[in-house]
Amino acid sequence: NAGVTQTPKFHILKIGQSMTLQCTQDMNHNYMYWYRQDPGMGLKLIYYSVGAGITDKGEVPNGYNVSRSTTEDFPLRLELAAPSQTSVYFCASSKPGLAGGRGEQFFGPGTRLTVL
Amino acid sequence: AQTVTQSQPEMSVQEAETVTLSCTYDTSESDYYLFWYKQPPSRQMILVIRQEAYKQQNATENRFSVNFQKAAKSFSLKISDSQLGDAAMYFCAYRSLNRDDKIIFGKGTRLHILP
């Protein structure tokens, strides 16, 4: 049981390039999330999904896109990268809050992205 | 809208001493979860402790315990016998239990452990 995995761990992108951050979970969680964390700051929600085929914007969606074709995968696409997108990106998953259980999110190890 | 406030951006504690991190939240809901997550220098987010709002008893996990005051909307984390490995950023989080199912994080408290 690997939990939430993210690739790559590190990446340097040039301004204007595009790339996809991969996220996979093997816990059969309906809910998945993408956050960004700037240095010394908290988490900001970019996008989330409550199930395959359903995605919704968080508080900072501009410059990003997501898709959710399977329960397991939730890739984050950066189009036309800008220096302001330099950050650490975390993927997380959880059961729905009302599904019972412990309610917490499970986080991947993060991707450190630098845009130069 | 729900909010989570951590009023202490940084704190320091001597090794083996006890420290309390503060968290207050605002909500009109009666059922919800509260969490404390730890983020060490490795950046991995680790669940420290959780509390269900309907439970009056404060949660405890080894050296970590909470003081949950529902009426005051306060959820502080107490770390006893602080160890060097406790040095990290600590985030308080709220999870709504309605259909909205929002998860709100505080801005975090950086905890330094002094040897």
Tell whether A89 is within 8 A of chain B (Cβ).
Answer: no
pLDDT band, residue A100 (cuts 50/70/90)? low
Which one is predicted more confidently, B1 or A114? A114
Which residues of chain B make contact with A110, given a CB cutoff of 8 A? 43-44
Tens of pLDDT, residue by residue over A60-91, are: 999 999 999 999 999 999 999 999 999 999 99
What Rg do the C-alpha atoms of chain B give, in angstroms?
14
A41 contacts chain B (CB < 8 A): yes
Cβ-Cβ contacts under 8 Å for A78 (sequence gap 6 or more): A13, A18, A19, A20, A21, A63, A64, A85, A113
Tell me: the pLDDT tens digits for A8-65?
999 999 999 999 999 999 999 999 999 999 988 899 999 999 999 999 999 999 999 9
- Name the nearest CA neighbour of A101 among B59, B57, B56, B50: B50
List chain A residues with CB under 8 Å of B99. Answer: 98
Chain B's closest residue to A109, CA to CA, is B44
Quick one: A92 exposed, middle or buried, by C-beta within 10 A (0-12, 13-18, 19+)? buried
The pLDDT score that the predictor gives to residue B98 is 77
Q: Which of B33, B42, B44 sits opposite A103 (nearest CB)?
A: B33
Question: Is residue B91 pLDDT above 70, yes or no?
Answer: yes
Q: Is the pLDDT of residue B1 over 70?
A: yes
Query: What token pair was written down for B45?
Result: 């987010």
Position B36 scores a pLDDT of 98
Residue of B nearest to A43 (CA): B105
- Indicate the residue of B33, B43, B45 with minimum beta-carbon distance to A97: B33
Chain A and chain B share a number of CB contacts under 8 A equal to 50
> Where do the H-state alpha helices sit in A1-116?
none
CB contact under 8 A, A109 and B43: yes
Residues of A in contact with B35 (CB under 8 A): 103-104
pLDDT tens string B11-70: 999 999 999 999 999 999 988 999 999 999 999 999 999 999 988 899 999 999 999 999
